[in-house]
């Protein structure tokens, strides 16, 4: 059987094109943004020291994740350079106390804080909390202290599986609007019962021009999450 060269070329070309690896469409998930304003988590012993014997935190408003709340209680966070008044306590009480500040806050109080995922990070810094009934000095390091929260996303077990990611993966977050930004290195945290929600601090939210409740697009970058897919 004979065919014309032009037809031959066209058929070979299409055969080659069909075998070329098609770049995979990145996996995406639309998620609401929760903006974390500077806040404090307290252990029960520190609730007692700061607010008095027998004191229980009172709910100011419920947070997006079930069972968590902003408390009515507020404290003064005192650093070597400055104090910030009326910093909100979040409940329920935890096993240890920690203070989460934006970097702008950290500069204001005079602390050079690490980026971390929890207040027991070895690099977390000592800080003083002043309440109506007492004062607590968080020692920093493994006993709990002040830090800047690493941008992260909360995912339920099923959401993580659907997206093909696991705890510890680093994702991108594409934010539209007047200050369009792609945040890289968004840490995945997974727990049964969690609703999908990205947590940014006020510096990140203000830099991107977003507020709590707005949505953004979580993207699994190529090379990330592949081994969990």
Distance CA 187, CA 167 (A): 8
Contact positions with a second copy (CB under 8 A) in 96-125: 102-104, 107, 115
24 forms part of the interface with a second copy (CB under 8 A): no
Measured from the CB of residue 145, what is the shortest distance to a second copy in angstroms? 18
Contact positions with a second copy (CB under 8 A) in 134-193: 151, 178-185
Considering the complex, state which of residue 115 and residue 226 has its C-beta at the smaller distance from a second copy.
115
The binder of a second copy chosen from 44, 83, 126, 203 (CB under 8 A)? 203
CB atoms within 10 A of CB 117: 12
Tokens of 167: 């705890």
| CB distance 177 to 226 below 8 Å | no
Measured from the CB of residue 44, what is the shortest distance to a second copy in angstroms? 32
Distance CA 192, CA 10 (A): 54
Distance CA 165, CA 154 (A): 12
Measured from the CB of residue 58, what is the shortest distance to a second copy in angstroms? 26
User: What residues have CB less than 8 Å from 80, skipping those under 6 apart?
Assistant: 109, 110, 111
Backbone angles phi, psi at 23, to 5 degrees: -55, 130
The binder of a second copy chosen from 65, 202, 212, 214 (CB under 8 A)? 202
Span near a second copy by CB under 8 A; candidates 3-11, 53-61, 90-98, 212-220:
3-11
Measured from the CB of residue 4, what is the shortest distance to a second copy in angstroms? 7
């Amino acid at each position: 059987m004979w065919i014309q060269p032009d037809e031959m070329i066209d058929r070979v070309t299409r055969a080659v094109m069909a075998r070329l690896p098609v770049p995979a469409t990145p996996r995406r998930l639309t998620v609401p943004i929760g903006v974390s304003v500077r806040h404090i988590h307290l252990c029960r012993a520190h609730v007692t020291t700061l607010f008095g014997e027998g004191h229980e935190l009172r709910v100011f408003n419920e947070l997006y994740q079930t069972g968590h709340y902003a408390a009515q209680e507020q404290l003064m966070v005192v650093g070597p350079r400055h104090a910030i008044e009326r910093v909100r306590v979040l409940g329920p009480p935890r096993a240890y106390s920690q203070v989460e500040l934006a970097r702008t806050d950290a500069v204001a109080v005079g602390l050079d804080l690490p980026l971390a995922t929890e207040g027991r990070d070895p690099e977390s810094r000592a800080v003083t909390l002043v309440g109506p009934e007492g004062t607590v000095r968080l020692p920093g390091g493994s006993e709990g202290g002040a830090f800047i929260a690493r941008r992260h996303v909360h995912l339920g077990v099923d959401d993580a599986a659907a997206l093909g990611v696991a705890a510890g993966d680093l994702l991108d977050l594409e934010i539209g609007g007047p200050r369009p930004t792609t945040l890289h290195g968004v840490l995945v945290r997974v727990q049964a019962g969690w609703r999908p929600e990205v947590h940014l601090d006020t510096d990140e939210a203000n830099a991107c021009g977003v507020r709590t409740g707005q949505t953004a697009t979580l993207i699994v970058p190529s090379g990330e999450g592949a081994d969990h897919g």
